[in-house]
Copies of this chain bind each other. A is one copy, B any other.
Amino acid sequence: MQENDFHNVVSEIMDQRSAPENQQIAVEQFEQANSPANLALLLESLPLAARLEAWEKLSESAKVPVLVEMRSDASQAIIQTLDDVHLLALFTGIGADTLLELQDVLPDRLIEDVLVRMDEEQNQRFSTAQQFDDKEVGHWCDHQPLVVPGKTKIKVVTRLLRRKTPAYCNTVFLVDSRGNWEGVVRLNNLFDADPLLRILELAENDFPTLNGKDDIYVAADRVAQSEESALPVISDSGLLIGRLDIGTAYKLQSEREESKLMASAGLDENEDLFSPVRKSAKNRAIWLGINLLTAFLASGFISMFEATLQQVVALAVLMPVVASMGGIAGSQTLTLIVRGLALGQISSANLKPLLTKEFKVGALNGILWAIVIGLITGFWFNSMMLGVVIGLAIVTNIISAALAGIFIPVILDKLKIDPALSGSVILTTVTDVVGFVAFLGLGTIFLL
């Protein structure tokens, strides 16, 4: 339903070129109907020319929030078309959090210009964030948590709360006069409390905290595990830097999953639906090149059996079957292990029983499919010996694929390489080579 509306707006935007008198109304309507996140998705879904056209139609106040929500390749494509004067007008007066979000896509000189015009407090927040790299929670946490000095009277705090509380806020953070973390008070503990009491008297001190240097995704998981709406982010010296809330944790989790999905095909998470053709081709060429190496490696092994192939051409016909079955069986084990590693469930303690189990599963499926494939092949090529050869190759390849499906991710993980990314390329190489060598080798022995 919502999605359909969204698509209608896309079509409208693209059709409007022919009806300029209606543009203003339509744009106002869709700005009201859509959050910056949805407008960002919309702009990303448009080809470059239409994207710039739609961007121009946004009201000035909507532009920066929409840029913040866009993936960086897409926002960069827009920013590149804007001149310095326009850019400075757009970004003057933005807060530290916004500048941090856009830091990677804005020209360095502009960032300096914006910082000069930024007030003291925001400048301070920006430079605090800069002390952490962009994989650390200190760089990305919300710098405007609900904070009061611990000595504040409760009646002052409740008056403050009454006016407005940020999203995902059911605690007040307390700091001392130097800004150091003092503890937390839950909103519900303030009901019926003595209004003249200092709020520090109600503080919980064993509340879980994050360190500014914590990995951003680990921090997100810890927020979720804590079942608190937000955790404070503290520096090594005890300074309260900000907070990470569960809503942001949810977004971070989405981002992480998106980047995993894209990485599995050798793509960057910021790859834009309408990246410039050259840029896109260049980004993808590397992954194609890596896979070409592994394909040529497989070819190299096949070429060792040219003489055999010439005499038994059926082997060439059936090669994809052997390689495919090994690849699929291996990827099943690999996926199971990648999940186990992500959940912290694989260790030296259970590696051996895991190998035993996957070996057995591989053997069972190997034998089953060896019989099926052997029979089909035997009848197809009218040669039972060819059936036996492919059957043996299938068993060999499925079992070795299962073992490779364990060893490859475990070793990559030990080497601190993400097995979800490179595991499948290495696995395919192994199953191709083992499959071809087993099949053509056995063919050379039994069929010549």
Q: Chain B residues near A347 (CB, 8 Å)?
A: 7, 10-11, 45
| CB closest residue in chain B, given A13 | B349
Q: Judging by beta carbons under 8 Å apart, are A334 and B302 in contact?
A: no
Q: How far is the CB of A137 from chain B (nearest CB, A)?
A: 15
Q: Judging by beta carbons under 8 Å apart, are B323 and A296 in contact?
A: no
Q: Chain B residues near A354 (CB, 8 Å)?
A: 47, 273-274
The stretch from A78-86, A102-110, A112-120, A337-345 touching chain B is A337-345
Q: Judging by beta carbons under 8 Å apart, are B292 and A325 in contact?
A: yes
User: Bound complex: CA of A317 vs CA of B329, how far in Å?
Assistant: 24
Q: Judging by beta carbons under 8 Å apart, are B345 and A45 in contact?
A: yes
User: Bound complex: CA of A30 vs CA of B445, how far in Å?
Assistant: 57
Q: Judging by beta carbons under 8 Å apart, are A167 and B227 in contact?
A: yes
Task: Given the known inter-chain contacts A168-B227, A325-B288, please indicate yes or no for A339 contacting B41, CB distance below 8 A.
Answer: no
**Chain A 229-251, CB within 8 Å of chain B: the 1/0 string?**
10000000000000000110111
Task: Given the known inter-chain contacts A10-B350, A47-B357, please indicate yes or no for A335 contacting B296, CB distance below 8 A.
Answer: no
User: Bound complex: CA of A320 vs CA of B225, how far in Å?
Assistant: 46
- Count the copies: 2
Which residues 35-54 in A have Cβ within 8 Å of B in the complex?
35, 37, 41, 44-47
User: Bound complex: CA of A227 vs CA of B190, how far in Å?
Assistant: 23
User: Bound complex: CA of A255 vs CA of B86, how far in Å?
Assistant: 44
Which residues 1-43 in A have Cβ within 8 Å of B in the complex?
3, 6-7, 10-11, 14, 35, 37, 41
Q: Does A64 contact B (CB under 8 A)?
A: no
Q: Does A197 contact B (CB under 8 A)?
A: no
Q: Which of A165, A253, A303, A317 counts the most chain B CB atoms within 10 A?
A: A317
Q: How far is the CB of A326 from chain B (nearest CB, A)?
A: 10
Q: Does A177 contact B (CB under 8 A)?
A: no
Q: How far is the CB of A98 from chain B (nearest CB, A)?
A: 17
Q: Judging by beta carbons under 8 Å apart, are B324 and A291 in contact?
A: yes
User: Bound complex: CA of A262 vs CA of B262, how far in Å?
Assistant: 16
Q: Which of B44, B253, B318, B432 contacts A253 (CB 8 A)?
A: B253
Q: Which of A3, A271, A292 counts the most chain B CB atoms within 10 A?
A: A292
What are the 9 A-B residue pairs with the smallest beta carbon separation, nearest first?
A316-B316, A45-B345, A265-B335, A295-B324, A47-B353, A158-B191, A281-B364, A7-B347, A167-B227
Q: List 17 A-B contacts (CB under 8 A).
A: A41-B344, A46-B350, A158-B192, A167-B227, A168-B229, A191-B191, A229-B229, A246-B246, A250-B253, A277-B357, A280-B357, A281-B368, A284-B361, A288-B328, A298-B321, A315-B316, A320-B323
